[in-house]
Amino acid sequence: MNGTATPLHGTAAGGTVVSVLVEIGVRRAVGVPDSQLAGVLAAVSRRLPVTFAAREDVAVAMAVGAGLAGEHFAVFMKNAGLGTSLDAIISLAAGAEVPLTLVVGWAGAGSDTLPHHVVMGCRTVPLLTAAGVGHDIVGPDGGDASRLLAGSAAARAARRPYALLVEP
C-alpha cells in the first residue's frame, strides 16, 4: 500500500497491546481514534471500556485525573496527536507525577509512505525521546509481548511515561 492508503492493523498487534495494558493494570482506554489503530482499538474495546476524546491533550488530562484518583487509564492517539498533547504530557502529567501509558499509531513509518504522514513519522521517535517518553515498537506481527510488558511495567514503576508505538 505504498503511499496510497493507511493499512488497518491486524489482530496480532491488538492482542499484544491488550495483553500489555491488562497486565499493567489499565482500567480504561481514552483517546482519539486513528485509522492506523482501528484493529488495536477493536481488540482493546473487547477487554476494556473505551472513551473517545475530542483531542489528544484532553485524553492525557483525563488520564491524569484518573491517575490522581488511583486509576490507570491508557491514552491512544495517532502520532500527530503528540504535537497537540505535548504540553499536557511534559508539564501537566509530569508535573502531577502521573505516569502515562500511551498507545500511539505510528503513521508515516514502515509501509506508510504518505508524505503528510512521513513528515511526522520520521520525527516521532526523536519527539518521544525529547519529551522523555520511553517507548517500544509493536510491529505488525505483534512483536515481543514479554519485552513490551517489561518496558511498560518498568516505566510505570519508575513513574515515567511510556509509549507503545504501533507500526503499520
Q: Give whichever of 61 and 148 is closer to other proteins, judged by the CB atom.
A: 61
**Binding of residue 158 to other proteins (CB under 8 A):** no
Indicate which single residue of 41, 58, 104, 128 sits in contact with other proteins (rule: CB under 8 A). Answer: 58
**Binding of residue 82 to other proteins (CB under 8 A):** no
CB of 19 to other proteins, least distance (A): 22
Q: Fill in the per-residue mask, 83 to 102: x = in contact with other proteins (CB under 8 A), - = not in contact.
A: ----xx--xx--xxxx----
**Binding of residue 45 to other proteins (CB under 8 A):** no
**Binding of residue 132 to other proteins (CB under 8 A):** no
Neighbouring residues of 54: CB distance < 8 A, sequence distance ≥ 6: 32
Q: Give me the helix-helix angle, 145-157 and 11-23, nearest 10°.
A: 30
CB of 54 to other proteins, least distance (A): 4
The residues that touch other proteins, with contacts defined as CB under 8 A, are: 27-28, 30, 51-55, 57-71, 73, 87-88, 91-92, 95-98
